């Protein structure tokens, strides 16, 4: 931009004659000062841009102590969770209740595991409840490509996700219980050996209902097997009760009136909360005012810079080209 301006100015002056002649007609003109004024203007703009970005700094890193437990949610996202025996469907009802659970957390750390044929960490254990709600809202049956209900993998992954934490821990498995992978009771026993309590919530009804099939957001029918028969999904209460029993927790079946998450959370709230120590920045301070002040100083300086030579500049001639 500066080079373009100087080139334009040079060409414009060239229309009036040779520079040596024109310079004699403007003895007070200091060509170098236009460059200085341009640089001052750029300094003003840069200062204002940085000020508008509102830079902040954490004045200190301090330890924050809170009381709570470590909690991992294992949420089934297999296609059977789209069954509508729990309105609007099993998965959406589970997500709604999970969101309410997050709203009621105070000092607890939360993580989310999603599973179907395999289990994946959706949210590492954290106290960032806003992030937990955001990640919960994005959960759907397409988030895990491989279909199935690998409860054992989910419990194993959740148990390992706690790391070396010595806080009291709990796992909540939310599923319809149709497990097709692994030895879930063996993984539950392994979790208990790590002092982890395992709770289960059954989504659905034992009678069984068909699994809807969608094209986009439009339901096109129900899932069928290779023989063309409609596939029915049933809640496996027996398995979920056994998991809860081995896991030293409790089992609740969801209904259209409630999901049972509140009952489970009431049980979890009775677990002794241990003190959790974290480090975080405190006393964040705005720093925009410093850049506003720098911009103002540039403007004030610009008021005293003229494109003509000052009396003292005439003697030292810093902007003249030889």
SS (H, E, C) 189-203: HHHHHCCEEEEEEEC
Does 322 fall in a domain?
A: no
DSSP per-residue letters across 249-285: S-EEE--SS--SHHHHHHHHHTSPPEEEEEEEEEEEE
Does 227 fall in a domain?
A: yes
User: Domain range for residue 121?
Assistant: 63-278
State the pLDDT at residue 63. Answer: 64
State the pLDDT at residue 313. Answer: 47
Q: Encoding tokens for residue 150?
A: 């690998």
Task: State whether 163 and 26 are in the same domain.
Answer: no
Q: Please report, for the domain that includes residue 229, its CATH number.
A: 3.40.50.410
Q: What are the residues facing 308 on neighbouring strands?
A: 29
Q: Encoding tokens for residue 77?
A: 């996202």
Q: Which of 34, 13, 7 is nearest to 309 (CA)?
A: 34
Does 3 fall in a domain?
A: no
Q: Encoding tokens for residue 119?
A: 């289990």
Task: State whether 249 and 305 are in the same domain.
Answer: no
Task: State whether 231 and 257 are in the same domain.
Answer: yes
Task: State whether 120 and 93 are in the same domain.
Answer: yes
State the pLDDT at residue 170. Answer: 93
State the pLDDT at residue 28. Answer: 58
Task: State whether 184 and 36 are in the same domain.
Answer: no
How confident is the chain (322 residues) per 10-residue block, as mean pLDDT? 66 66 59 71 86 76 71 93 89 89 86 94 92 93 87 94 84 84 87 94 87 82 86 89 94 76 75 62 72 86 65 49 46
Other beta carbons within 10 angstroms of residue 186's beta carbon come to 13
State the pLDDT at residue 86. Answer: 87
What whole-number distance in Å separates Cα of residue 44 and Cα of residue 54?
Answer: 16
Q: 88: cis peptide before it, omega within 30°?
A: yes
Q: Judge contact between 76 and 175, C-beta under 8 A.
A: yes
Does 198 fall in a domain?
A: yes
Which helix (H) or strand (E) segment holds residue 292: the answer is: helix 288-303
Does 150 fall in a domain?
A: yes
Q: What are phi and psi of 101, to 5 degrees?
A: -60, -45
Does 83 fall in a domain?
A: yes
Q: What are phi and psi of 50, to 5 degrees?
A: -65, -40
State the pLDDT at residue 213. Answer: 85
Task: State whether 224 and 91 are in the same domain.
Answer: yes
Task: State whether 165 and 211 are in the same domain.
Answer: yes
Does 321 fall in a domain?
A: no
Gyration radius (Cα) of the chain, Å:
34
What whole-number distance in Å separates Cα of residue 202 and Cα of residue 255?
Answer: 9
State the pLDDT at residue 315. Answer: 53
For helices 31-52 and 2-14, what crossing angle results, to 10°?
150
State the pLDDT at residue 318. Answer: 47
Task: State whether 238 and 184 are in the same domain.
Answer: yes
Question: What's the structural domain count of the chain?
Answer: 2
Task: State whether 191 and 292 are in the same domain.
Answer: no
State the pLDDT at residue 208. Answer: 83
State the pLDDT at residue 29. Answer: 58
Q: Judge contact between 210 and 83, C-beta under 8 A.
A: yes
DSSP tag of 136: H
Task: State whether 188 and 205 are in the same domain.
Answer: yes
């Amino acid at each position: 931009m500066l080079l373009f301006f100087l080139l334009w100015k040079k060409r414009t002056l060239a229309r009036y004659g040779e520079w040596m002649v024109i310079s004699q007609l403007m003895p007070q003109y200091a060509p170098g000062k236009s460059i200085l004024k341009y640089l001052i203007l750029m300094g003003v703009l840069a200062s204002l841009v940085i000020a508008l970005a509102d830079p902040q700094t954490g004045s200190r890193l301090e330890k924050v102590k809170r009381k709570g437990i470590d909690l991992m949610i294992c949420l089934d996202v297999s296609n059977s969770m789209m069954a509508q025996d729990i309105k609007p469907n099993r998965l959406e009802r589970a997500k709604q209740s999970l969101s309410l659970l997050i709203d009621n957390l105070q000092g607890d750390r939360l993580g989310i595991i999603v599973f179907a044929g395999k289990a994946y960490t959706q949210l590492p254990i954290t106290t960032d409840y806003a992030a937990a709600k955001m990640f919960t809202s994005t959960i759907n049956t397409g988030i895990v490509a491989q279909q199935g209900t690998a409860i054992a993998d989910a419990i194993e992954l959740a148990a390992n996700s706690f790391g070396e934490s010595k806080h009291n821990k709990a796992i909540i498995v939310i599923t319809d219980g149709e497990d097709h992978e692994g030895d879930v009771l063996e993984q539950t026993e392994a979790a208990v050996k790590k002092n982890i309590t395992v709770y289960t919530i059954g989504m659905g009804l034992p009678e069984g209902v068909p699994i809807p099939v969608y094209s986009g957001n439009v339901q096109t029918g129900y899932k069928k097997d290779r023989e063309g028969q409609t596939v029915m999904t049933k809640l496996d209460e027996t398995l979920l009760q056994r998991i809860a029993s081995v896991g030293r927790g409790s089992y609740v079946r969801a209904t259209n009136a409630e999901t049972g998450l509140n009952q489970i959370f009431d049980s979890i709230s009775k677990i002794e909360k241990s003190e959790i120590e974290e480090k975080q920045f405190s006393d964040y301070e705005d720093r925009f005012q410093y850049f506003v002040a720098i911009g103002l100083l540039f403007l004030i300086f610009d008021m005293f810079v003229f494109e003509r030579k000052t009396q003292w500049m005439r003697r030292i001639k810093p902007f003249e080209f030889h």
